[in-house]
Structure 1
Amino acid sequence: MIRIIDFLISIVGLLLLSPLIAIVTLLGFFDTGSPIFVQKRMGRDKVPFNLIKFRTMSVDTKSVASHLANNKSITKLGYFLRKTKIDELLQLINVVKGDMSLVGPRPNLYNQQELINERDKLGVYNVLPGVTGLAQVQNIDMSTPRLLAKVDKQMIESFTISSYFKYILMTATGSGSGDAVKK
């Protein structure tokens, strides 16, 4: 049932937000010359998929977790996109494709070994990764792997249809500050 809801919300979201997506894409061309960012991430059962986002950092930034990137890499447009979470909109495409759910553990990179180990211990990879979830609305990012894995597991174990909509609503109304970037 969640898959059907994910699909329908994402299709409607992409259609309704298509003017905004077009504007951000155009602005992104002026900002970095390459407005779309695609990065290999770990999905359910650690199967790789290509996560799609709006680019928020300069093109030459190393492909590392946000908390390991330098804030000098974030562009002016990128700062706005992160603050408003607009940079995440293109992940609706990942949800439509079935790579992600709207709600679930944030997908990590393959070089985040400590997080991978912690999530493996707790069975976090048994579910689809999500655009948002409990950790995101509580401002817990990938810089605290053990805590993140624990909160992901807590979300999975207590997951209900009402918590699904609660996390989406909390994210849409501004809960969570987005990915941390080192100063």
Structure 2
Amino acid sequence: MFHTAKRAVDLGAALGILLLLWWALVLIWAYIRLDSPGPGVFAQLRVGKNGREFVCYKFRTMKLGTRQAGTHEVSASAITPFGRFLRARKLDELPQIWNILRNEMSLIGPRPCLPTQTALIAARKRRGVLDLKPGVSGLAQINGIDMSDPERLARWDARYLALQSLRLDLAIGMSTLTGRGQGDKVAE
């Protein structure tokens, strides 16, 4: 019952964003293309449910040529000025509605990591977290926990696994929309 309702909410939200905000998605994409060289949408391999890899989409917030690494391992100087604006408002996550529509992600769940983040993958596997679809936002993120501490993040992800409910998802979603949690911090 929970998983069916969660999927219905995911689909409703993704379709709603697509239908109501398609014009904003196009404008953001166009501004990124004009603002700095490179694509407007960034595609990156991530680890999803059951450890399966998938391509995750985001608006590009970093300069072309930035190395593929966890955000906490990338210098703040790699972020474009418009990218900083998008990240602060979490607008860079909007293209992930495509991942939601493809049933690779959910609105709420553990943030998907890179295949190279082996310590986090192992910690999540030990705690059963890989049984979940990754999310655009999650319990750890609204509590300020990023991927720089894999064990701590996996513990918070496991807490979400144990407590998951539509009520908790709604609370996490509202906290995300009101600006709680800053996502992964870049290196100084």
Bin for the TM-score computed over the shorter chain? over 0.9
2:17 to 13, 21, 36: 13
1:41-56 to 2 correspondences below 5 Å: 41-56=46-61
2:156 to 137, 141, 151: 151
2:76 to 47, 71, 79: 71
- Shift in Å, 1:178: 2.1
- Shift in Å, 1:32: 2.4
- Shift in Å, 1:30: 1.1
- Partner SS, residue 42 of structure 2: strand
Q: Give a deviation string over 1:28-71, Cα, whole Å, max 9, x none.
A: 11122311100000110011110000000011000101000011
Question: Residue 35 of structure 2 corresponds to which residue in structure 1?
Answer: 31
Q: Give a deviation string over 1:70-100, Cα, whole Å, max 9, x none.
A: 1110000111010110000111111111000
1:167 to 147, 172, 176: 172
Using structure 1 for the length normalisation, give the TM-score. 0.98
Distance 1:110 1:69 in 2: 16
After the TM superposition, list the runs of 4 or more consecutive aligned residues in structure 1 that deviate by more than 6 angstroms.
Answer: none
Distance 2:45 2:174 in 1: 27
User: RMSD in angstroms over aligned alpha carbons?
Assistant: 0.8
- Shift in Å, 1:115: 0.7
Question: Residue 82 of structure 1 corresponds to which residue in structure 2?
Answer: 87
Distance 1:159 1:32 in 2: 40
Residue identity (%): 37
Using structure 2 for the length normalisation, give the TM-score. 0.95
Matched residue pairs, number?
183
- Shift in Å, 1:177: 1.1
Distance 2:23 2:144 in 1: 29
Gapped regions of structure 1 (runs ≥ 5): none
Amino acid at match of 1:106: R
Question: Residue 62 of structure 1 corresponds to which residue in structure 2?
Answer: 67
- Shift in Å, 1:170: 0.7
2:127 to 122, 141, 144: 122
- Partner SS, residue 16 of structure 2: helix
Q: Give a deviation string over 1:132-164, Cα, whole Å, max 9, x none.
A: 110010010000100100000001100111001
